[in-house]
Amino acid sequence: MKPKVLAIIPARGGSKGVPRKNIKELAGKPLIEWTIEEAKKSKYIDRIIVSSEDKEILQVAQKFGADVPFVRPANLAEDTTAGIEPVLHALEHFSDYEYVVMLQPTSPLRLVEDIDGCIEQLLQENAEFCVSVCEVGQSPYWMYTLDSSTKMQPLLKEQTLITRRQDLPKVYTLNGAIYLANIDLLKQTRNFITEETIAYVMPVERSYDIDTEEDFKICEYLYTNL
């Protein structure tokens, strides 16, 4: 039987890097619209809500088909607010969903195939947590730290044994696009990253996370040229 899945798009109004980032236009559409559009295509998501303390963001979200059942408290929309807090706050309003998927609006190139692929992988592997990652181009096995006199020290002890690029193990990083969890367990762990979390690998070209004006330009270029 198909599980009930709630999608939460957290989108606060404040942004130091790019003012009004979540509703700034990217290729002719507000940034948040990109995520809402793909979430609406999902065959697993039952409801899409946007969590924000900003009335303009809530109006834009509602215009493009997301639900805005509440206004997020201002104390949960500060620079220091942990990313999990808006999710846990939103879950206080709902009790009839089994899974929650958090979709950050700063990942505009993420597609519905990524969203549904992540959900399908979690279900197929009987996992309770799944997050999206992408392969890292610069390997930490060839990275160094510098001491106060700028002497180099290997970041990882194992790296001194690897001399050829083709021998480097693949490494991955969170790309911020998809966070999926069993709701009951998420309330216990208060974190999507646990010892039981599995990874859904996304292509690097769909993994850009917007934080600066330059990121907007890169994503717009990728969208128009891919």
- The pLDDT tens digits for 71-123 are 998 888 887 788 899 999 999 999 899 999 999 999 999 999 999 999 999 99
Q: What is the pLDDT of residue 72?
A: 92
d(CA 103, CA 10): 7
* Inside any domain, residue 197: yes
Q: Is the pLDDT of residue 16 over 80?
A: no
For 117-158, the pLDDT digits (tens) are 999 999 999 999 999 999 998 888 889 999 999 999 888 876
Give the predicted TM-score (pTM) of the model.
Answer: 0.92
**Is residue 40 domain-resident?**
yes
Question: Does residue 131 form part of some domain?
Answer: yes
Number of domains in the chain: 1
> Residue 9: which pLDDT band, with cuts at 50, 70 and 90?
very high
CATH code where residue 59 lies: 3.90.550.10
Task: Please check whether residue 220 lies inside any domain of the structure.
Answer: yes
**For residue 138, what pLDDT is reported?**
87
